[in-house]
Structure 1
Amino acid sequence: MKWLLRILFLLVAVFGLVIGALLLMPGDKLATILAEQVRAQTGRDLKLTGDVNLSFWPVLGMETGPVTFGNASWAGPEPMLSAESLAVGVDASALISGDLRIKRVIAENPVLRLELSDGRGNWELSAPATVAPANSTSGATPQGQQGEVTLDHLKLTNARLLYIENGATKFDFANVDLAASWPNIAAPLKVHAQMAVPGGAVDVDLSIQDLPAYASGVVTPLDLTLTAPGGDFAFDGRVNLAGEMAGSLRAKTTSTELMLAAFGQAGMGVPLGLGRAADVSAQMTYTQNGRISLRNMVAQLDDNRLTGEADIMISDPPQITARLDAGDLDLSRFNDGAATGGASQASPATPQNEGWSTAPIDASALALANGRIRLKANSIAVPGLTLGPSDLTLNLDRSRAVLQMNPATLFSGQLNGQVVANNRNGLSVGGNLTADGINVQQALSTLGGIERLSGTGSGSFEFLGVGQTEDQIMRSLSGKGRVDVGRGVISGFDLDRLMGRGGGEAGTTVFNSLSASFNIDQGVLRNDDLLMSLDNFRADGSGRVGIGNRDIDYLFTPVALRANSGNGIAVPVRIVGPWSNPSIKPDLTKVIEAAAEGKAKELEDEAKQKVFEKVGNELDTTITDSDQIEDAIKNKLEDELNKGILKLFGGN
């Protein structure tokens, strides 16, 4: 029995001496031993500086000063992990049984660089290959059963997280606090991260259901939620080691502008109707090249509901390709001031009867994305007008938007062509349109407040305007076009009454057709070839229409075709004044000039007739025009000359 006690005492003494030696060993020596072991197991360099403190039971732990952990050989020169301090502890009893139960990993001010290239991740660790001894026997060396690895607590404080994919930095977040837990092999890995952003903080909760399967490359269930100022995201699906995902997505914002500001897009306005508050759900697929595909998408954007599908390439700005269907899309308050305090409020528009609006137009939304979006809708309400059933395609490219109409229904007719808004160097708008079946009264009333002309028309229109307000754009307009209108009505004066010497200021005038071409320069439209056809009249027109000033100075000249023995009578009408209330009156100056010209013609004809009669009596012949006077005089002279010659030679 004594020898047994002596053996136990010897073992305790040896163990105590080993522990004492470790405790008394200098920190740099401990760091060297630990670095050698880490390199042997992972192939990476571990550098520890400062004092290294150890604990042995029940937690085998280490606390150190600044530390760096090397990157993969194919990755960049920067370390994969660096920190100002590091504390690591493992369960000593579990370690004896062959399991690695990590009790804690705590790092202060760490920098973690995750890099992915050609399917390889720098977080994949493997021991360097060793050469077998020359005298080893052939055949595989039996491998022991690998123990379980678990993590009770991981905490990174004030961390910087970088993710680099194929040499390009996908994200770089600073001031991040991260905590993770994986208490046993069958439990999910749970990660919580928080990052300070403008307006508050972003919180991310992630759960991977089967971490060993995920680490081996198997597609694994994933739950992910992100909460940020202004909204939140939720994803429930599956993920693989390359970060590719597929599952259901839900994104909801109460203030999209706040969320954009939180992710570095401060001051980016969102038009009302396009998602200042949004609720989007879809089946999402994310691929390794940064493409997000959304299928079976339902998007509630403010009061508008859209369905369809979209593909988004993550870039700056995002590249979007989408096909959407909408019922009644309301963008009538597109330019209303943002609800958040950070966005400027639009000033009240100038009343319609006083001029165009001088409120600044916020066109910053043109820079939100690039891409191509096709939209079909039953109706689309935009400021000042409403389109009916329409098929539209919007192309976005670096703050320039081209809206293609294929066609669009407007003013009860159809528009084909395109409208362009360009905000690259100040705002400009332009277009090239053809129209068919347009309700002229609806168009003129909506666009210019003109109510008196009605009918169904067609035509073409090219235009360009520049400015930051509606008023500036209208005053700068240039372009050209043509209008053809079928049977229609002009209210406010009666052409039949006017030509019958009445006032011509009440009633209506019905016309059979109207055509005109025009040119626009500096907000002024000029036309010189208006032609209106009526049953008993023809009307010509020429003049100026001030689009910028919203006024008109136009001479309209109707001609009574059957009057004056079919020669016609013209009574010009001048239209002068503001669009809202123009003066429409006969141009008496023109009437008097026309009447005076007619009287002079009568007096001239009467004088000629008297001359013809007098000359005829003198020459004893009938004269009806001036040419006959010359012939009659010649004949008379010849006759008198013949008589004189006969008398000279003794004839009768």
Structure 2
Amino acid sequence: MKRFITTLAILLVVVVAGMTALVLLVNPNDFRAYMVQQVEQRSGYRLALDGNLRWHVWPQLSILSGQMSLTAPGAQQPVVSASNMRLDVKLLPLLSHQLAVKQVLLDGAVVRLTPGSTARQPDNAPPDPTNAAPSLPAQRWTFDIDNLRVSNSLLIWQQSVGKELNVRDLNLQLTQNRQRQAHLELSSRISRDQRELLMNLNADVNLSRYPQHLSAQIQQLDYQLSGADLPKEGLKGQAKMQADWSSNQAAFSLKNLSLSANDSEMTGSASGTLGLRPEVNLDLHSTMLNMDSLLGLQISGSDDLSLQAQRSGPAPVIAVAQPEEQPSVLSGIDGQLSLSVDKLRWRGMDFDRLMMKLSGRDGQFALSTLRGDIGNGNFSLPGALDFRHPQTRLTLQPVLQNIAIAPLMKAFELPATLSGDLSLTGNFSGAGLNVPAFKQVWHGDAALNLSNANIAGLNLQRMIQRAVENSSARVHGPAKQAPGSDMQQITGKFTLNNGLVNFAELNGQSSMLNYHGQGSVNMVSQQADILFGVTVTQGWQGDDELVQRLKQTPVPLRIYGPWSGLNYGLQVDSVLRQQLQDEARKRLKQWSDRNTDSSRNGSVQKLMKDL
């Protein structure tokens, strides 16, 4: 045992002595020009190292540098700059005075991907006689370092037109083997407009054919987005995919895509090209898509307007000059979307087996399929979308079959006082994809049929019966209303114009009454004004003549005023007055027929005409 320990001690002394001698005999500054030359030959980029290079022995033989920068040819700003850099080198090549770097470590670096850091030809460069596109050194870039680590750094990204995006707390570790199979680990934090995105990435990357082709297996991508104008709990989830990129065709593909966001999840694939006019093709499937959770909506249990946005606060208002309104970004993208959702929740309504197919070019898309099931009913909403305007324009031809109307009215923030199963066929168009836009700037027309309808707080039969009983003791209604007698069948036609719904025709009937009417509902000012003619056909008891009159005569009923406090105008007196006039006219006629020779017969005839 003593010999073994002694042998280890001797080996350790020899190694330490050898490394010490090597450090003393080899000056790291001798490699400065070599490193600058190798970087420029391999990539065309200019490496600048300020200050003296120095050795760092423990726990890894390394070269330390001061301020460093890496600049593309013709660029105004460096692509990478750091206050210090560490190069972990291999020991054996140093014995022959050669430098072999196995890891580069940058701490506190600033990475710029901006127009100012992009490679460009000098202004006085002669034109290419072959008229070929200039070959910038950046296109010859290869990554030959086995290990790269970037910690506590900042990435500044900016397109030619747009704001800067700062990626803070950037931590990157990239390792690769001789076959250029790399493993990438990345974490970062992005803050902008009072919102923050945390991201962690773990992926395997194939660099063997880079830059012509690049493929990556993203094993794990965790993200969390929180801040202003987002749900209070934020948006968080994971993603996995197989990504491929071909620079020759500027084509990409995402296979085995798996994405989760809060309690929603989606799988599928994506492909396309990224040229002057990108083309994107999506084929997606979701077992559960909860739009209420993604939009931060909470549904209360009351029957009133109960959709509430549960958000962290409004987005900041920035006092800058307002640019001219531009078309939607989707106007510059072509492609198609195929989406199937097993279960979808939107504004408190649960949909099943949702199918959507969308395709188009030049900003105009055809919505050939949008259908699904809800409860015992189903719907179809084919149409078209136009993204060439600041507000997306739509045309829809809805066909609804037996859709429960109460949750539908709550979803559109209308008083949920009406129940029943709605069937509808219509044609609508407008600008904007949200409910407020539908209620304010859309227009169209439709025919509706509402079965098993019940208007909460408005029993037309009881209203008329009580009004008649209060005006006349000759008739009365039943003491107790039969169960289900208030269920109605309602049909009608209406037009929608910038929030004003005009009912040109509205008819209803039940086992006890029937009615017809017309009027309007203003969804913007939340006002209603509808005039009905209601006839109670069953349940009367008392004077036979008056009962027959009530069964055949519509009673005028006006419903008007704000939704929060509707007013009712019921004109029962006119019906009773007409009944009295008819009865008086009948009796005067009987007297006149019996007394044809009477001198007062003329006066009676005149009185009959006046009635």
Q: TM-score, normalised by structure 1?
A: 0.56
**Structure 1's 205 and 276: CA in aligned 2 closer, same or farther, altered over 3 A?**
same
Letter of the aligned partner of 1:196 in structure 2? L
Determine if the alignment matches structure 1 residue 540 to structure 2 residue 516: yes
Letter of the aligned partner of 2:345 in structure 1? A
Counterpart of 2:378 in structure 1 is 414
Contact residue 282 and residue 337 of structure 2 kept, 8 A: yes
Which residue of the other structure, out of 277, 289, 311, is the alignment partner of 1:329? Answer: 289
Counterpart of 1:245 in structure 2 is 214
Q: Give 1 or 2 for the bigger CA radius of gyration.
A: 1
Contact residue 500 and residue 522 of structure 2 kept, 8 A: yes
Counterpart of 1:573 in structure 2 is 557
Counterpart of 2:148 in structure 1 is 191
Contact residue 514 and residue 532 of structure 1 kept, 8 A: yes
Determine if the alignment matches structure 1 residue 523 to structure 2 residue 499: yes
Determine if the alignment matches structure 1 residue 151 to structure 2 residue 111: no
Letter of the aligned partner of 1:575 in structure 2? I
Give, in angstroms, the shift of residue 280 of structure 1.
Answer: 0.6
Determine if the alignment matches structure 1 residue 286 to structure 2 residue 277: no
Counterpart of 2:472 in structure 1 is none
Any idea what SS the aligned residue of 2:408 has? helix
Give, in angstroms, the shift of residue 306 of structure 1.
Answer: 1.9
| Structural mapping, 1:178-577, within 5 Å | 189-193=146-150, 195-197=153-155, 198=166, 200-210=168-178, 220-229=180-189, 230-243=198-211, 244-256=213-225, 276-288=235-247, 289-311=249-271, 320-336=280-296, 353=304, 372-393=336-357, 406-410=370-374, 412-418=376-382, 425=390, 431-444=396-409, 446-447=411-412, 448-460=414-426, 462=428, 464=430, 474-486=439-451, 488-489=453-454, 492-493=458-459, 495=461, 498=464, 502=476, 509-510=485-486, 513-534=489-510, 537-559=513-535, 564=548, 568-577=552-561
Give, in angstroms, the shift of residue 279 of structure 1.
Answer: 0.5
Letter of the aligned partner of 1:524 in structure 2? L
CA–CA separation in structure 2 for the residues paired with 1:65 and 1:159:
24
**Structure 1's 549 and 466: CA in aligned 2 closer, same or farther, altered over 3 A?**
farther
Aligned pair count reads: 470
CA–CA separation in structure 2 for the residues paired with 1:63 and 1:225:
29
Give, in angstroms, the shift of residue 224 of structure 1.
Answer: 1.6
Contact residue 559 and residue 568 of structure 2 kept, 8 A: yes
Give, in angstroms, the shift of residue 426 of structure 1.
Answer: 5.9
CA–CA separation in structure 2 for the residues paired with 1:556 and 1:331:
39
Contact residue 387 and residue 411 of structure 1 kept, 8 A: yes
Contact residue 215 and residue 244 of structure 2 kept, 8 A: yes
Letter of the aligned partner of 2:339 in structure 1? L
Any idea what SS the aligned residue of 1:549 has? coil
**Structure 1's 479 and 313: CA in aligned 2 closer, same or farther, altered over 3 A?**
same
Letter of the aligned partner of 1:379 in structure 2? K
Determine if the alignment matches structure 1 residue 588 to structure 2 residue 547: no
Contact residue 110 and residue 159 of structure 1 kept, 8 A: no
Letter of the aligned partner of 1:568 in structure 2? Q
**Structure 1's 573 and 518: CA in aligned 2 closer, same or farther, altered over 3 A?**
same
Give, in angstroms, the shift of residue 372 of structure 1.
Answer: 4.3
Contact residue 263 and residue 293 of structure 2 kept, 8 A: no
Give, in angstroms, the shift of residue 586 of structure 1.
Answer: 3.4
Structure 2, unaligned runs of 5 or more: 1-23, 55-60, 75-96, 121-132, 156-165, 190-197, 316-327, 469-474, 539-546, 599-611
Deviations 1:273-301 (A, max 9, x none): 9x821211123323224444222222221
Contact residue 372 and residue 396 of structure 1 kept, 8 A: yes
Any idea what SS the aligned residue of 1:61 has? helix
**Structure 1's 446 and 589: CA in aligned 2 closer, same or farther, altered over 3 A?**
farther
**Structure 1's 60 and 465: CA in aligned 2 closer, same or farther, altered over 3 A?**
closer
CA–CA separation in structure 2 for the residues paired with 1:559 and 1:171:
84
Give, in angstroms, the shift of residue 391 of structure 1.
Answer: 1.3
**Structure 1's 60 and 444: CA in aligned 2 closer, same or farther, altered over 3 A?**
closer
Give, in angstroms, the shift of residue 608 of structure 1.
Answer: 8.1
Give, in angstroms, the shift of residue 511 of structure 1.
Answer: 6.1
Deviations 1:301-349 (A, max 9, x none): 1221222222365689986432222223212144439xxxxxxxx9x99
Q: Which moved more, 1:431-440 or 1:588-597?
A: 588-597
CA–CA separation in structure 2 for the residues paired with 1:171 and 1:515:
70
**Structure 1's 154 and 495: CA in aligned 2 closer, same or farther, altered over 3 A?**
closer
Structure 1, unaligned runs of 5 or more: 1-54, 90-101, 116-146, 173-179, 183-188, 214-219, 259-266, 338-345, 616-652
CA–CA separation in structure 2 for the residues paired with 1:169 and 1:574:
79
Deviations 1:44-78 (A, max 9, x none): xxxxxxxxxxx9957792656998999899x9xxx
**Structure 1's 610 and 404: CA in aligned 2 closer, same or farther, altered over 3 A?**
farther
| Structural mapping, 1:50-199, within 5 Å | 61=30, 63=32, 80-81=45-46, 83=48, 109-113=68-72, 150-151=100-101, 189-193=146-150, 195-197=153-155, 198=166
**Structure 1's 445 and 572: CA in aligned 2 closer, same or farther, altered over 3 A?**
farther
Give, in angstroms, the shift of residue 541 of structure 1.
Answer: 1.0
CA–CA separation in structure 1 for the residues paired with 2:307 and 2:395:
17
Give, in angstroms, the shift of residue 196 of structure 1.
Answer: 0.9
Relative contact order higher in (CA < 8 Å, ≥ 6 apart): 2
Letter of the aligned partner of 1:310 in structure 2? A
Deviations 1:508-558 (A, max 9, x none): 645674321112234221213112244575421112223223343322213
CA–CA separation in structure 2 for the residues paired with 1:196 and 1:528:
64
Q: TM-score, normalised by structure 2?
A: 0.59
RMSD: 5.7
Counterpart of 2:606 in structure 1 is none
CA–CA separation in structure 2 for the residues paired with 1:425 and 1:388:
32
